[in-house]
Amino acid sequence: MLNKMYTWIIQQAQTKNAIWLLAIVSFAESSFFPLPPDPVLAVVVAKNKDKMLRYALLCTISSVLGGFLGYFIGYAFFASLGESILRFFNITPTQFQDMVQSMGRDTWAFWIICLKGLTPIPFKIVTIASGFAHVNLSVFAVAALIARSMRFLLLSFLCKLYGETVLNFMEKHQKLTLALIVGAIIAGFLLIKMFA
């Protein structure tokens, strides 16, 4: 199923629907969707290098807005929705509580959101934990904006420089690319289990 979803997303990333797909995946990944927007952004930038900043900005804004949804799920709908998302991603209550407790002060929360927003750690877990911990919304917004803009600007810049190589690799080695993405997702969850 994941392979079919990935193949469809990569195909759509090369069509006129790419902008909408990039915005939707970026938004959804910050609150509940399993696949990161990075492959879509990579394809879109590789195909349209002159619009690199525009796509990085779109990805950033969509991701931060999706982060607000994740925050709201943690803040107001944790019992009815948040717990189900955590179970789906195999996050134990203890791991989640460890992350929430580490966000006890807004200063720490700021740095945790910034740092974890740059890593393979699924951003949805960070946003839900931020809402559950009642992190100051302004602190959350600024930290999320910094983390996501740095991540997507760096990725866009690299894809502008090496876009054709990246695109050729993704097209020739779709299974390996999917395996790398799944590996990054698994690594993110392992990081949560180790350092939450």
pLDDT tens-digit readout, 136-161? 999 999 999 999 999 999 889 888 88
Confidence of residue 54 (pLDDT cuts 50, 70, 90): very high
92 DSSP 8-state letter: -
pLDDT of residue 28: 94
Comparing 118 with 70, which gets the higher pLDDT? 70
Q: Using an 8 Å Cβ cutoff, are 73 and 40 in contact?
A: no
| pTM for the model | 0.80
Burial class of residue 67 in the structure, from the number of CB atoms within 10 Å of its CB (0-12 exposed, 13-18 middle, 19+ buried): buried
pLDDT of residue 180: 64
Pick the more confident residue, 162 or 137. 137
- Token reading at 17: 């629907």
- Residue 90 zone, left/alpha/beta (φ > 0; ψ -120 to 50; rest): left
Say yes or no to pLDDT of 182 above 70.
no
Whether 9 shows a pLDDT value over 90: the answer reads no
As to burial, measured by CB atoms within 10 angstroms (0-12 exposed, 13-18 middle, 19+ buried), residue 68 is buried
Query: 148: closest CA among 32, 27, 46?
Result: 27
